[in-house]
Structure 1
C-alpha cells in the first residue's frame, strides 16, 4: 500500500513538473530570446521549482555540498538522472552543458540551451565537438562560465560501472582550466527512467579541484576514483539513513 501511494504521488509530481516546464518555458521564451540573462533566470527558477515541489509532493529533499565554483572551470559530474542536472544548474552562476545535439530540436529546451551557451555534440563525434567549442572560445562566440561535462557520457545507475571517456581529459588539457569533480547519489531516489521516485535526501557534492597543470592520465584516473568513491559514500549514507528510519 505504501509503495502504491508513493507511485501515485510520483506520477502526479512527474506530470506536473513537465507541464510546468512547458508552461514556464513558453511564457519566458520571448524574454529568453532577447536576453541571455533572462534565459538563465528562467532555467534556474524552473530548476528550483522542480526541487521545491519534489520536497513536499514526493518527500525528496536535495542538498548541495562542497565549494561551488564561480570562476571559469570545467565541471565533470556524475550523471544519474534529470535531478542532478537541475541541482547543478541551480547553484552554478554561469553553467553551460555539453549536450546531445538532438536536444537542440526539442521545442523550448533547444532555444534555452542555445541561449545559455550549451555546446551540442554528435554521438560518436565528441572530438569534433570539442574542437568546435575551442574554436568558438577563440573567436569570442562562447560566453565564459562553468562548462559541465558528463565524463561517462550518459546517465549511469548507482553502483553500475561505465568507463570515463578520454574526451574529458582531452578537453581538460585544451581548456587549461581547473576541473571540479562532482559526485551524487540522486539516482537512488530519482532513477534514470520510470515513474517511481523515492523519498530521501538527494545530494550533489562538489569535490576538491584537479589543478589545470595535471597531466591527462593523472587527471582521468583521479577523476574516476574520486567521483566513484564519493558517490558510493553518498549512496551508503543514504541507505544507512533509510535503515535507521525503517
Structure 2
C-alpha cells in the first residue's frame, strides 16, 4: 500500500466525519424540524467541521475564491466529490441543490436536504426529469436562496470529459436569473470514491456572472467553456495535468 500513514489518517478522518454528521443531525433535529434556518445552521456547522478536521487530520486545506453570491441566482457548478458540495454550501447564505431523488432516503443527508429546500429529481427519462425539475423549482420559487445545479449531472473525475446536460440551460431559461458558474479542483485530493485523501489545497472558485437573457445554446456553450477552462487551471495549480488522462 502506498502512503500507509496517510491512508490510515484518511480512514480516521472519514469515520469521524460521518460520526459527526450523525451527532450534529441528532443535536440540531428539534430546531431543524420547526425551522428551515435550524436545518441550514446544522448543515453549515457540518461544513465547517469537515473543513477544519480535513486540514489538520489529513493535511487537506480548502479555499473558496471569487465572490460567493448572496442574492437569488442559479449556481451551475463542476462536481468532482463531496467536498465541493461542502465548500459551495458553506460559503453562501441559503443554498439548495438539485439532487438525485434516491438521496432522499440517505440517513441524515436526505432529511436535511429536504428541510433546506433541495429539489429531488428522478433521473430516469431525461425529458421527464427535466419537466419534473422545472415544475418542482417553480413550486418552490417563493423560497429565497441560491439554487445549485451540477451541470454535468454527476461527479466527474479529474481529467475526464463528460458533456454538460441541458438541465442547467432549462433552469437558466425558466428562472430568468443570472447564473454564477463555479469551478473546482477538489477531485485531485478527494476522489469520487474511496478512502484516501491527498494533502494539498482544494479550491472552489466562483466565476464572473453570466447575465440572464442569453438564448439556451449560447448560455450552455459559455457555461461549459468557462467552467472547464477554470477547473483545468485549478487542477494544474494543484499539480494535476487534466490533459494527460
TM-score with structure 1 setting the length: 0.93
Deviation for aligned residue 1:2:
7.0
2-side partners of 1:131 and 1:35: how far apart?
25
User: What's the CA shift string for 1:54-101, capped at 9, x where partnerless?
Assistant: 000000000000011101000000000000000001001010000011
- 1:243 alignment counterpart: none
User: What's the CA shift string for 1:86-121, capped at 9, x where partnerless?
Assistant: 000100101000001111122222221111100000
- 2:135 alignment counterpart: 132
- 1:188 alignment counterpart: 188
After the TM superposition, which residues 166-185 of structure 1 pair with which residues of structure 2 at under 5 Å, given as runs? Answer: 166-185=166-185
Using the TM superposition, name which of 116-125 and 146-155 deviates more. Answer: 116-125
The 3-state SS of whatever aligns with 1:177 is: coil
Segments of structure 2 that go 5 or more residues without pairing to the other structure are 241-245
Contact 1:120–1:129 under 8 Å retained in 2:
no
Question: Root-mean-square deviation (CA), in Å?
Answer: 1.3
Contact 1:29–1:108 under 8 Å retained in 2:
no
Deviation for aligned residue 1:126:
2.3
Using the TM superposition, name which of 204-213 and 109-118 deviates more. Answer: 109-118
Matched, 1:8 2:8: yes
- 1:97 alignment counterpart: 97
Segments of structure 1 that go 5 or more residues without pairing to the other structure are 241-246
Using the TM superposition, name which of 104-113 and 170-179 deviates more. Answer: 104-113
User: What's the CA shift string for 1:27-70, capped at 9, x where partnerless?
Assistant: 21111011111110000010110010000000000000001110
- 2:231 alignment counterpart: 231
The 3-state SS of whatever aligns with 2:28 is: helix
1-side partners of 2:132 and 2:13: how far apart?
35
1-side partners of 2:116 and 2:9: how far apart?
32
TM-score with structure 2 setting the length: 0.94
Contact 1:33–1:111 under 8 Å retained in 2:
no
Contact 2:78–2:183 under 8 Å retained in 1:
yes
Using the TM superposition, name which of 153-162 and 121-130 deviates more. Answer: 121-130
Deviation for aligned residue 1:135:
3.3
Contact 2:84–2:184 under 8 Å retained in 1:
yes
1-side partners of 2:104 and 2:98: how far apart?
12
Structure 1 ranges of 4+ moved more than 4 A: none
Contact 1:104–1:113 under 8 Å retained in 2:
yes
Contact 1:97–1:147 under 8 Å retained in 2:
yes
2-side partners of 1:105 and 1:134: how far apart?
20
- 1:210 alignment counterpart: 210
Contact 2:72–2:177 under 8 Å retained in 1:
yes
User: What's the CA shift string for 1:166-185, capped at 9, x where partnerless?
Assistant: 11111100000001100000
